[in-house]
Chain A
Amino acid sequence: MLLAVTAQGSPVVLVAAVFLASAVEMVEALTIVLAVGVTRGWRSAFEGVAAALAALTALVVVIGPPLVHWVPLSTLRLVVGFLLLVFGLQWLRKAVLRASGLKAKHDEDAIYAEQVAELSEAPPATGRDATAFTVAFKGVFLEGLEVVVVVLTLGTSSHRLGLAALAAAAAVVLVVVVGLVVHRQLSGVPENSMKMGVGLMLVSFGTFWAGEGVHVSWPGSDLAIPVLVAVYGLVAWVLVTMLRRGEQSRMSGRAGVGSSIDA
Chain B
Amino acid sequence: MPDDTGMPATGSGQRADETGANHVVRSRWLRAFGRFWWDFLIGDTPELFIGAVVVVGAAALLCTVTGARHAAAFVLPALVAGLLSLSVWRASRSRPD
Q: Is A81 an interface residue (CB 8 A)?
A: yes
* Prevailing SS type, chain A contact patch: helix
From B5-13, B15-23, B24-32, B40-48, the one touching the partner chain is B40-48
Q: Which residues of A contact B87 (CB under 8 A)?
A: 89, 93
Q: Is A217 an interface residue (CB 8 A)?
A: yes
Which residue in chain A gives the minimum CB-CB distance to B48? A89
Q: Which residues of B contact A228 (CB under 8 A)?
A: 77
Contact status A207-B63, CB under 8 Å: no
Q: Which residues of A contact B52 (CB under 8 A)?
A: 82, 85-86, 89
From known contacts A82-B52, A90-B45, A243-B92, infer whether A216 and B84 are also in contact, taking CB-CB under 8 Å. no
From known contacts A83-B41, A85-B56, infer whether A207 and B70 are also in contact, taking CB-CB under 8 Å. no
Which residue in chain A gives the minimum CB-CB distance to B95? A102
Q: Which residues of A contact B48 (CB under 8 A)?
A: 86, 89-90, 93
Q: Is B73 an interface residue (CB 8 A)?
A: yes
A82 to B41, CA, bound (A): 10
Distance in angstroms from A206 CB to nearest chain B CB is 8
Q: Which residues of B contact A85 (CB under 8 A)?
A: 52, 55-56, 80
Contact status A89-B83, CB under 8 Å: yes
Q: Is A232 an interface residue (CB 8 A)?
A: yes
Contact of A89 among B69, B72, B80 (CB under 8 A): B80
* Prevailing SS type, chain B contact patch: helix
Q: How many residues of B contact A (CB 8 A)?
A: 32
Contact status B63-A93, CB under 8 Å: no
Contact status B56-A81, CB under 8 Å: yes
A246 to B70, CA, bound (A): 37
Which residue in chain B gives the minimum CB-CB distance to A211? B76
Distance in angstroms from B27 CB to nearest chain A CB is 22
Q: Is A72 an interface residue (CB 8 A)?
A: no
A215 to B51, CA, bound (A): 19
Distance in angstroms from A98 CB to nearest chain B CB is 11
Residues A200-233 near B (CB distance < 8 A): 203, 207, 210-211, 213-219, 224, 228, 231-232
Q: Is A135 an interface residue (CB 8 A)?
A: no
Q: Which residues of A contact B88 (CB under 8 A)?
A: 93, 96-97, 239, 243
A213 to B56, CA, bound (A): 9
Q: Which residues of B contact A239 (CB under 8 A)?
A: 84-85, 88
A218 to B80, CA, bound (A): 15
Contact status B92-A211, CB under 8 Å: no
From known contacts A85-B52, A93-B87, A96-B88, infer whether A211 and B72 are also in contact, taking CB-CB under 8 Å. yes
Q: Which of B53, B84, B91 has the most chain A CB atoms closer than 10 A to its own CB?
A: B84
Contact status B91-A216, CB under 8 Å: no
A81 to B91, CA, bound (A): 25
Tell me the B residues contacting A by CB distance below 8 Å. Answer: 36, 40-41, 43, 45, 48-49, 51-53, 55-56, 59-60, 63-64, 69-70, 72-73, 76-77, 80-81, 83-85, 87-88, 91-92, 95
A-B contact pairs, 18 of them (CB 8 A): A85-B55, A86-B48, A86-B49, A87-B41, A89-B83, A90-B43, A93-B45, A93-B87, A97-B88, A102-B92, A210-B59, A214-B63, A215-B63, A215-B69, A216-B69, A239-B88, A243-B88, A246-B92
